[in-house]
Amino acid sequence: MSTPQSTAAGKVLLVLSAFDREHPSQTLSDIAQRTGLALSTAHRVVGELAAWGALERAEDGSWHVGLRLWEIASGCPRTQILRDAALPFMQDLYEVTHENIQLAVREGTELVFVERIAGHRSVRLLTMVGTRFPVGSTGMGRVLLAHAPRDIQEEVLGSPLRAWTPHTVTDPKTLRRQLDRIRREQVFVSDRQLSEDTVAVAAPVRIGRTGPVSAALGIVVAARSASRARGLREPLLRAVRGISDELGRRARTAL
């Protein structure tokens, strides 16, 4: 069986995977070191990617992801349809709250943030569009986990859970009860689970009112404003119902 480094496509994917939020800009030596490729091989692959537009070179000689790659990624059907349907409702929700409004989807045992609206007064977050976190680590992630297939839930519950703050729930039995409550109550308040500075209120977005869960929508406020969290339940529910209805309408139209 061939390894990623033994095929041309594998080498390209290795180089692209070397770039992430923590490593947005890298030298050729950095890329070779992170991928395990020989410097000459990394140089050839980077050159081909740059010629196509997937990578761009900065004035200091370092490399970063190019606009061409972003253009392709932005056309991902799974997130494009979701974002198109959700954005008007997210904007309305922001106008009501003036807080961070986030949209996320689950991929395996991780969640990926696909859209965000925030103002200059909104609390600073660890999360941003394109970042991934373990699905059990955030309020939105736990909403997605509560509605995930049973094997995904058991995989997460059976693995060590990271304590991001002193308040993070890491006990599997406690988390299991929390997931049951999320399924019953629909809206979940996540109190300082990922950051001691933030409280999140999250709810599931479905494809139609009673369809499968497609995403999670959340409002993130400063922990000092935690008393507001309960009052955000109704505006959040109105938004997720609107998005769910729109996704259901688009799904019916596509049949």
Cα gap 31→44, rounded to integer Å: 12
Instruction: Give the long-range contacts of residues 124-132, CB within 8 A, separation 24 or more.
Output: 124/197, 125/100, 125/195, 125/198, 125/220, 126/194, 126/195, 127/102, 127/194, 128/21, 130/21, 131/21, 132/107
Three-state SS sequence of the chain: CCCHHHCHHHHHHHHHHCCCCCCCEECHHHHHHHHCCCHHHHHHHHHHHHHHCCEEECCCCCEEECHHHHHHHCCCHHHHHHHHHHHHHHHHHHHHHCCEEEEEEEECCEEEEEEEECCCCCCCCCCCCCCEEECCCCHHHHHHHHCCCHHHHHHHHCCCCCCCCCCCCCCHHHHHHHHHHHHHHCCEEEECCCCCCEEEEEEEEECCCCCCEEEEEEEEEEHHHHHHHHHHHHHHHHHHHHHHHHHHHHHHHHC
Identify the CATH homologous superfamily for domain 77-254.
GAF domain (3.30.450.40)
Residue 112 pairs with which residues in a beta bridge?
105, 132
4-72 against 77-254: fold identical:
no
pTM of the model: 0.73
Q: What is the pLDDT along the chain (255 residues), one digit of tens a residue?
A: 344 556 888 888 888 888 876 788 889 999 998 988 989 999 999 999 998 888 888 888 898 888 777 767 666 566 778 888 999 999 999 999 988 899 999 999 999 888 888 777 766 666 677 788 899 888 899 999 999 999 999 999 999 988 888 888 889 999 999 999 999 998 998 888 777 788 889 999 999 988 999 999 999 888 776 677 778 999 999 999 999 999 998 888 765
Of 1.10.10.10, 3.30.230.70, 1.10.3720.10, 3.90.1180.10, the CATH number of 4-72 is 1.10.10.10
How much is the pLDDT for 1?
38
How much is the pLDDT for 255?
57
**Domain extent listing, the chain:** 4-72, 77-254
How much is the pLDDT for 181?
93
How much is the pLDDT for 126?
63
How much is the pLDDT for 182?
93
